[in-house]
Structure 1
Amino acid sequence: MKSVKLVLGTKNGADIIRIDYKSDTTLRKHLLKLPVLQQDLLDGTFYLENSSNNLNLIFNHLRKIGCYVDYSEVRQKKKGLPKNKKPFSLPPLGPKQQRNLHSFSKWLMEKRLSPNTVNTYVEVSGFFVRYAILKKSKIYSKALVESFNYDFIVNEGKSISYQNQCINGIKKYFLFKNIAMEALDLVRPKKEKKLPVVLSKEEIRSIIEETHNLKHRTLLSLIYSGGLRIGEAINLKVTDIDSDRMLVHIKGGKGKKDRYTLLSHSFLETLRTYYRQYKPSKYLFEGQRSEKYSTSSAQWVLKKAVFKAGIKKGVTLHTLRHSFATHLLENGTDIRYIQELLGHSSPKTTMIYTHVTENSFKNISSPFDDL
C-alpha cells in the first residue's frame, strides 16, 4: 500500500501542506493530475495552500489509488490551542500492520462497499491500530476502543460525523479480525441537525456565468439541473443521456440504485455544443490523463467560480444538488417526485428541504410588524 504523510510548513510567509512520500513514479504521476498542487523548485517537493478545502482535495485525490494518507499532523493542529498542549500524535504503522490493513481493504471491497466507504474504514481503523501501538496493547478490547474514542476523537474536538465513521470502521475491522462483537456495545452520538446551504437562482446563474471553460460549465450545469451527486455526474456515460424523453439515467447511484432525473431543455443545447467540441467516447466527462473526470478537479472548478462570483457562503458541489431540490419545492413540485429525482430511500430525508424554502416563511409576518 502506497503511503503519504501531509506535513505542515510555510512558504513565502504563507501556511502550506507539504506532501511527504517515498519516491514512486505512479504516485508522482497521480499527484500531478491535481491542479492546485505546486512544486518547490528548490527541493522538488509538492505542496499546496493550507486550507480545509485543499486538505479534502488532496485526501480524496490520493484515496482514489488506495493510498494511505497520514494527515494527523494537519487535522490535529487547532487554532487557539493552548501553547502547553501538543497536538495528539500517533506512531507509524509497521509493515505487518500495513499488510493487514491492505487485506482489510480487499475484504471490504469484496463486500461491495463503495470505494469512499472502504477508504474511510481503512483510514479510521489504521488510526485505531496506531493508537493500540501507542498504548502498547496487543488486545483490541472495548476499553481500548473507548479510550481511543475519547483521546483521539472527543478530546481532539473532531466532529460527531467523524466519530460515527470511526465507530463503524472499527466494528468492521473487528469483524474482519474475528474479534467478538458482543462486548463492543458502543453508542453512536446523535448527529447535529444542520440545514443545508442553499443558493438562490441568481447565485447559481452567476456561478455558471463565471465558468468560462465549456466542459466545466457543462458539468456544473448538469449537476444543478438534474440534482446529481458529483460521483453520479462523473460516472455518467454518453449513452445515459436520453434526449428523446428528456431524462438522465443514473445507474448505480447511492445504495446501488438506478433512477431517472430531469434533462433540462435549456441545458440541452449547452450539452450538445459540449459534445460536438469534446467528442467524449465513453464517459460524458473525461479527464485529460484518465478515463473519467476527477472529483477533485470538479471541486476546484466550483471553488474558482464561487470566488469569482463573490459568493461568501460555504458552497460545495453538493450545494448545487441541495439548491435543485429547494428550487423545485419552491416551484410547487410535489415532494414525492423530488424524492424520486434525488434517489432518496425515505421521504424523511427529502423533508429537510421544507425547512429552507422561501415559501415556508413568505406568508408569515413577524410580530414586530404589528408594533
Structure 2
Amino acid sequence: MKWEAKIVRHRGESRIAVYFEKDADLIARIKNIDGSRWSQQMSVWHLPDTVENRIRFQLTPLADRLPSMEGIAQIERFKQWLRSKRYSESTLKTYTEALKSFLVFYREKPVSEITNEDVVFYNNEYILKNNLSASYQNQIVNAIKLFFKTVQEKKIELDKIHRPKRAKVLPNVLSKEEVKLILNAHSNVKHKMMLSLIYSCGLRCGELLALQPVHIDSKRNLVMLKNSKGKKDRIAPLSPKILEMLRDYYKDYRPTTYLFEGQKAGAPYDARSLQLILKQALQKTGISKPVTLHWLRHSFATHLLESGTDLRYIQELLGHSSSKTTEIYTHVSTKSIQHIKSPFDDL
C-alpha cells in the first residue's frame, strides 16, 4: 500500500497530511484515528500533529522510535549476552543501538519470523535510501549476525546481505615539526605530559587514561598497557626524555589510582577534557588541520617507519592483530616517495 505523509499548516494549525490513491481499507483506518478529518480544499485526509501520529506515519526519525515490547526484551537479552562475554561498554552500546534501529524498522513483525530477505530489504530501503555510512552499515550487519546467532540461535547468511566495500582511507599524519609545536604548546605540565605520552608510545586515548603509576616500569624503560583494545596486554618503550618528564609531573601532581586523574582524586581524567587540551594546543600553534588525538598515534607509527623500524615491530607496538592494519602506514610514509624524481623535471 503506497502512501506518503508530511507536516502541513491547515487553518493555522500543524497537521499531518496523508496522501494515497483511493483505498477503502486505509480510509477506514484513518477514520479510526482521533481528530482525523477530510479537507475538501486540499483533497487530503489530515490528522493532529502528535508524537504518536508522527511515529505511526514514519515522520519521526527511526533513531527516535521504540521497538515493540518483544523487541525491547530481545535487545535486553542481547545486552546481557554481550556483558557476559565481557564486550566493552563502547561495543555494547554500538551493537545494541544498531540492533534497535533494525528492530524498530520491523516493529510490527515477530522477531522469530525475521529472515535474510528482511535484512536485505532493510539494507536497501533504510540504510541505502538514507545514505547512511558504510561503517554504520557494517555495524548493523555485524550486530544482526551476532544477535541471531547467539540470542535467537538462528543463522543469517551474510553472503545474501550486500556489504559495502571498505573505503581505503589513509591515516592522517603530522610532520615531526608539527608534532613538536603541538607538544610544546602547553606550559601546563600535566597537559604537555599527556599529549607527549600519546605520541611517544603511540597510545590510543583510552589507553592513556587507563594508565596507572604501577604501569610505568622505570627500571626497564617500559610502559605496561593492560587490557587494551581486544582485551590484550602489550608493552611500549618508554623514552628516557619522557621518563624525566614523568618524574617532574609526579612530583607536582602525586597521582593515586590513575596516572592522569581528573579533579576528583582516584578518578581517571575525562576524555573530552583531553580532546579540549589538543584543541587549545592547535589554536596556540595556528595549525588549522582538523587534528585529533589519534593523529598523534598515526604520526608515531609513520615516523617510526620512516626512521627504518621494521613493520613487524610497529605492529607489536600498536597492538594490531593483523599486519594488514599496520601496512597502511607504508602508503603515507614519504621516505621513499621523496627520492622519486618526477619526469616533469626532465622536460
TM-score normalised to structure 2 length = 0.76
Matched, 1:300 2:272: no
Count of residues in Structure 1 that have an aligned counterpart in Structure 2 = 284
Matched, 1:105 2:90: no
Residues 191-229 of structure 1, C-alpha deviations (whole Å, 9 max, x = no match) = 111110001111111112223332222111111000111
Distance in 2 (CA, whole Å) between partners of 1:177 and 1:93 is: 20
Are the aligned partners of 1:222 and 1:267 in contact in 2 as well (CA < 8 Å)?
yes
Q: CA RMSD in A?
A: 2.1
Q: Report how far residue 104 of structure 1 moved.
A: 2.1
Q: Report how far residue 262 of structure 1 moved.
A: 1.5
Give the equivalent residue in structure 2 for 1:264: 239
Change (3 A) 1:152 1:182: closer
Q: Report how far residue 88 of structure 1 moved.
A: 4.8
Distance in 1 (CA, whole Å) between partners of 2:75 and 2:277 is: 34
Change (3 A) 1:351 1:291: same
What amino acid is aligned across from residue 342 of structure 1 in structure 2? L
Change (3 A) 1:221 1:232: same
What amino acid is aligned across from residue 296 of structure 1 in structure 2? R
Structure scoring higher RCO (CA < 8 A, sep ≥ 6) equals 1
Are the aligned partners of 1:230 and 1:295 in contact in 2 as well (CA < 8 Å)?
yes
- After the TM superposition, which residues 100-179 of structure 1 pair with which residues of structure 2 at under 5 Å, given as runs? 100-133=74-107, 136-138=108-110, 139-178=113-152
Are the aligned partners of 1:219 and 1:233 in contact in 2 as well (CA < 8 Å)?
yes
Give the equivalent residue in structure 2 for 1:58: none
Q: Secondary structure at the match of 1:300?
A: helix
Give the equivalent residue in structure 2 for 1:249: 224
Distance in 1 (CA, whole Å) between partners of 2:225 and 2:156 is: 39
Are the aligned partners of 1:215 and 1:274 in contact in 2 as well (CA < 8 Å)?
yes
Give the equivalent residue in structure 2 for 1:210: 185
Q: Structure 2: any 5+ residue segments left out of the alignment?
A: 1-58
Q: Secondary structure at the match of 1:288?
A: coil
Distance in 2 (CA, whole Å) between partners of 1:160 and 1:287 is: 36
Residues 55-93 of structure 1, C-alpha deviations (whole Å, 9 max, x = no match) = xxxxxxxxxxxxxxxxxxxxxxxxxxxxxxx89545522
Q: Secondary structure at the match of 1:259?
A: strand
Q: Secondary structure at the match of 2:235?
A: strand
Distance in 1 (CA, whole Å) between partners of 2:90 and 2:246 is: 29
Distance in 2 (CA, whole Å) between partners of 1:255 and 1:315 is: 25
Give the equivalent residue in structure 1 for 2:327: 351
Distance in 1 (CA, whole Å) between partners of 2:263 and 2:74 is: 35
| Higher Rg | 2
- After the TM superposition, which residues 1-371 of structure 1 pair with which residues of structure 2 at under 5 Å, given as runs? 88-89=61-62, 92-93=65-66, 96=69, 97-133=71-107, 136-138=108-110, 139-178=113-152, 180-183=154-157, 185-289=160-264, 291-371=267-347
Are the aligned partners of 2:116 and 2:156 in contact in 1 as well (CA < 8 Å)?
no
What amino acid is aligned across from residue 324 of structure 1 in structure 2? F
Are the aligned partners of 2:62 and 2:101 in contact in 1 as well (CA < 8 Å)?
no
Q: Structure 1: any 5+ residue segments left out of the alignment?
A: 1-85
Aligned residues: percent identity? 49
Are the aligned partners of 2:145 and 2:156 in contact in 1 as well (CA < 8 Å)?
no
What amino acid is aligned across from residue 213 of structure 1 in structure 2? N
Q: Secondary structure at the match of 1:255?
A: coil
What amino acid is aligned across from residue 269 of structure 1 in structure 2? E
Are the aligned partners of 1:248 and 1:262 in contact in 2 as well (CA < 8 Å)?
yes
